[in-house]
A and B are shown apart, each in its own frame.
Chain A
């Protein structure tokens, strides 16, 4: 694309003061990529293992229930809910609402608090159940 190098470009990340809306925008891409590759590959592995038989499923099951497996599962729980809450926020922004500075900041922050809270709730409940 032909571009006159003398004309100014719009300022990028480095020039703005950081705010939650910028963090959430970056997190939306990062968590989406993590879900797409991490979540996608594990979902395929899980299904193919189940369709292949008990031996293949056992290999998956042992990996999934190792400490590293739980770490990945907790991580994917957070990336899913962060992407989901941020996605719901995008649906609202699509209608043209929620761009006022204060409102925008509030709901950007809410997606982070929401995703952390739901992740904590789910895995807290899983842990509590395992204690019985």
Chain B
């Protein structure tokens, strides 16, 4: 593991191992977000109303439901990687950083699960008005 200097510790942990994986996932989900969130913003803009019946009707379409599920995966994955870098750069206290990273993972996975379940419930079962 080197001589204990900074460079000695990171030597060999570069892209030849899995150091590049976050970088690649960040770009992959960035490209996914570019397509899916733009579609989402344009769709919301094009909807005549945003009341309960209109939104339910809109989400009952397979293309919309699948688009929203894919967007949720891409967005929450992207924000998990992005906020992780943010926390690692700015939270210097070890205990606080571990707690923040844990909270971030709970938020990304829990929030993504809530969103996807809600989309599927509306698309598959509908909601009684």
Contact = CB atoms under 8 A, between A and B. Distances in A.
Interface of A: 1-3, 29, 32-33, 35-36, 40-41, 43-44, 47-48, 50-54, 57-58, 61, 64, 77, 80, 84, 87-88, 90-91, 94, 122, 125-126
Contacts of A40: 75-76, 79, 107, 111
Q: Dominant SS at the B interface? A: helix
Interface residues of B, number: 39
Contacts of A3: 6
Interface of B: 4-6, 9, 27, 30-31, 33-34, 37-38, 41, 45, 50-52, 55-56, 59, 68, 72, 75-76, 79, 82-83, 86, 107, 111, 114-115, 117-119, 121-122, 127-129
Given A33-B86, A36-B82, A94-B27, A43 B41 contact: no
Nearest to A87: B30
Contacts of B5: 2
Given A44-B111, A51-B127, 8 more contacts: A29-B86, A33-B83, A44-B115, A47-B114, A48-B115, A80-B37, A87-B30, A126-B45
B119 A47 contact: yes
25 contacts: A2-B4, A2-B5, A32-B79, A36-B79, A40-B111, A41-B111, A43-B72, A43-B75, A47-B68, A47-B118, A48-B114, A48-B115, A50-B52, A50-B56, A51-B119, A51-B121, A54-B52, A57-B52, A80-B41, A84-B37, A87-B33, A90-B30, A91-B27, A122-B45, A125-B45
A31 to B, nearest CB: 11
B120 to A, nearest CB: 9
A29 to B, nearest CB: 6
A85 B86 CA distance: 19
Given A33-B86, A54-B129, A61-B51, A44 B114 contact: yes
Contacts of A77: 41
A25 to B, nearest CB: 12
